[in-house]
Amino acid sequence: MRTCSSLPVTAVAALLAAASFVGCGSDDPRVEASADAGSPADAATFDSGLDPEPDAGPFDAGLAPEPDAGSCSVAECPPLACRIASCASGSCAYAAAEDGAACLESGEAGLCHAGSCRTAFRHTRGLCVVADFADATLEGHTGAGLRSLTDVRAMLEQMERHWWWLSLGTHRMEWELTRIRLDQPLSDEAFSDWAEYRDAVVGKLAETVDLGDFDADGDGLLDTMWVIASTHDRAPAYVMGGASRHLGANLFVDAQSSQSVAVGAYGNFNHEVCHNLGLPDLYGPFGTIGFLSLMHDSWALPANGLSAFDRMKLGWFEPRRIDQTTRRVELEPAEQAFSAVRVATARAAEYFLIEHRRRPEAGYGSAPAERYDGLAIFHVFEPGHQGMDPPLLKLEPADGAMAPDTFPQPADFWAPETGAGHFVARSHLTGGELFRIENLERTARGLRLDVVMLPDASSPADNLLANGSFEDGAGPLPDGWQTGAWLDEPDTFAWDTAIRHEGARSARISNLGAPNDAHFSQQVGGLTPGAPYLLCGWLRGEAIVGYEDASAGANLCLMGGWTRSPGPFGTFDWQEQCAAFSADSNEVTVGCRLGFYSSTATGTAWCDALTLTPLQSAF
Ligand SMILES: [Ca+2]
Ligand SMILES: [Ca+2]
Ligand SMILES: [Ca+2]
């Protein structure tokens, strides 16, 4: 162990003032190598996760010392996990070690977070694959971008550190690096399209690597793979970016000289990792989340964080659920703690997530010019997406103004000082008032508020469907519904009296022969073109199995398009599913369906209590 006492006083003071780590006390060569890198972006990331608040911990006291280099030796300071010792005024002082640095706690190996050693965390192994061509290797490239395995490892390390911070030290993403050589020489025509390229990479990789070693969540799919294509300065069409699933692997692809590689936008790569783990994009024509999520703004350096919505969907935490008036709810800044509430509404499809967001002064999340510090109120509409109104996620602005496809402004955060008044939540489904926020005030830990539920006085919107509960009819099948299937098989459709969610009957689809795509459908008129609508219904499933890479089991859909509800497989009890859409014309044909286009399934599905209702604009 080196001591600090030989360092120039000014150097020690500067390092302490930056609350950064000092090389002494760390025997991790990785830490020292990184410290020497010294680019502005690198320096900033080292500060990430370090609590700038004075109440961060007992060891931060006395960190504004007049270092006295001569009177104490760091070697004499008791070693503390994830704390860097230095000498100040003749006694030992400690600063938080770098986030993600290796540590030991009671003999157990861990990683540092916010100055303490974490030994219990989720662990996912990502697989990075350098994909050379028959006649072109990564090292053969001389321009900007990744030109060696050392370059790649450095990028992976940045991604690992960022991920550790994103997860507040609860999820370690550890990247392993391998390489393959494709049979094809490098050319713009080596593969006919991106899918053929990705299939070839995964296929070649599977010859030497057990993809099952990279399935931490046990769903049978490789969790995340980053393919770096050794395309030198070329950008063949088949090496397009973005996340997808091929041959049982979730992956994303970059050319070795792509723009995000060239500028070192590691946030972009972790954005794609988030896709591999199931998160949707939050940018789009109706996006409003901006720098509050890496899923909207992934280019910033240092990289941004994630919203409560993302963190919840990744399974990192479960926000406290509020479904009745609750007072004195305290929220810590989400940059430091998993702290958010989920305010429920009468419908599972619609809820609110409220968190306290405060722009860090340095490091990850500090890139936005806007200094914000207040409540971020996210209006979640599960069937939506950022390309429609109402969107999946909308920031409800404190100043009342938030245009689609814009970033938040400081005045969009709810704070006691802004005098913006009470927040009143309104439903996208009914337009009715749902809850109010009162008595917002600052506390030592963050923000405190009351959530006051309001009686929804609005009446439910009229159901545009006829016989949506499948109760009426005189023949063998319910009135108002047509049936159709990819394969004509006997006994596919039935009107069930034994199993139903509401009333006395439901509609049943049985694909008991060959895998099939079968549906009950109804054509509906009188829609307003361009206006948003919500199709919901209750579905039940028994032994639903998709054929090969089927995308959907039991679902609600618009016939003739790609809009559908999630469409789960397996066996499940009655569950509400919804699909939202903007009407293309004044007519639409909706379906309750087992299977989908290019996606067949076997098993049985029941449909009941279908509704089609207009939605409110979110803006
Ligand atoms: Ca998996
Ligand atoms: Ca605004
Ligand atoms: Ca019914």
CATH number, domain of 572, equals: 2.60.120.260
Asked if residue 432 and residue 300 are part of one domain, the reply reads yes
Find the ligand nearest to 213 CA. Answer: 1
Q: Could you tell me if 322 and 389 lie in one domain?
A: yes
Ligand that comes closest to the CA of residue 468: 3
Tell how far the Cα of 319 is from the centroid of ligand 1, in angstroms: 24
Residue 464 lies inside a defined structural domain of this protein: no
Q: Which ligand is nearest to the CA of 508?
A: 3
Residue 269 is assigned to a structural domain of this protein:
yes
Please tell me the distance between residue 600's alpha carbon and the centre of ligand 3 in angstroms. 26
94-142 pLDDT, tens digit each: 999 988 899 998 889 999 998 999 998 999 999 999 999 999 999 999 9
Domain identity same for 56 and 70: yes
**Residues within 5 Å of ion ligand 1, judged at the Cβ atom:** 215, 217, 219, 221, 223
Q: What are the strands, taking DSSP E only, across 547-600? A: 554-558, 570-582, 588-594
Residues 494 and 591 in one domain: yes
Domain boundary among 118, 134, 167: 118
Domain annotation covers residue 235: yes
- Based on the fold, state whether residues 126 and 266 are members of the same structural domain: yes
Does some domain include residue 343?
A: yes
Ligand 2 centroid from CA 446, angstroms: 22
Q: Residue 406 Cα, ligand 2 centroid: separation in angstroms?
A: 9
Measured from the Cβ of residue 188, the count of other Cβ atoms closer than 10 Å reads 12
Considering the domain architecture, whether residues 110 and 130 belong to the same structural domain is answered as no
Four-point Cα dihedral 583, 588, 594, 596, nearest 10: -60
Ligand at shortest distance from the CA of 223: 1
Please give the distance, rounded to the nearest whole angstrom, from the Cα atom of residue 219 to the centre of ligand 2.
41
Nearest ligand, CA 127: 1
Domain CATH code at residue 242: 3.40.50
- Identify the pLDDT of residue 76: 87
What are the backbone dihedrals phi and psi of residue 538, each rounded to the nearest 5 degrees, phi first?
-105, 130
Query: Which neighbouring-strand residues pair with 532?
Result: 582
Question: What's the CA-to-centroid distance between 557 and ligand 3, angstroms?
Answer: 19
Tens of pLDDT, residue by residue over 203-239, are 999 999 999 999 999 989 999 999 999 999 999 999 9
Domain extent, residue 338, equals 290-453
Cα-to-centroid distance, 205 and ligand 1 (Å): 17
| Whether residues 369 and 403 fall in one domain | yes
Give the ligand whose atoms come closest to the C-alpha of residue 288: 2
What pLDDT is stored for residue 559 in this prediction? 97
Is residue 155 domain-resident? yes
Taking the C-alpha atoms of residue 572 and residue 95, their distance in angstroms, rounded to an integer, is: 52
Q: What is the tally of structural domains in the chain? A: 4
Residue 128 and residue 66 in one domain: no
Distance 562 CA to ligand 3 centre (A): 26
Does residue 429 have a pLDDT over 90? yes
Expressed in angstroms and rounded, the spacing between residue 477 Cα and the centre of ligand 3 is 13
From 69, 102, 118, give the residue that closes a domain: 118
Q: Which of 423, 431, 350, 429 is nearest to 393 (CA)?
A: 350
In a domain? residue 397:
yes
Q: Answer whether residue 398 is part of any domain.
A: yes
Same-domain check for residues 79 and 142: no
Ligand positioned closest to the Cα atom of 409: 2
Residue 516 maps to a domain: yes
- 573 and 586 together in one domain: yes
pLDDT at residue 461 in the model: 82
Residue ending a domain, among 86, 118, 150, is: 118
Same domain for 42 and 88? yes
Task: Please determine, for residue 4, whether its predicted confidence score (pLDDT) is greater than 60.
Answer: no
**Lowest-confidence pick of 45-54, 345-354, 430-439, 482-491:** 45-54
pLDDT digits (tens, 9 = 90+) for 131-165: 999 999 999 999 999 999 999 999 999 999 999 99
Contact between 302 and 159 under an 8 Å Cβ cutoff? The reply is no
User: How remote is the CA of residue 112 from the centroid of ligand 1, in Å?
Assistant: 26
* Domain match, 431 and 300 both: yes
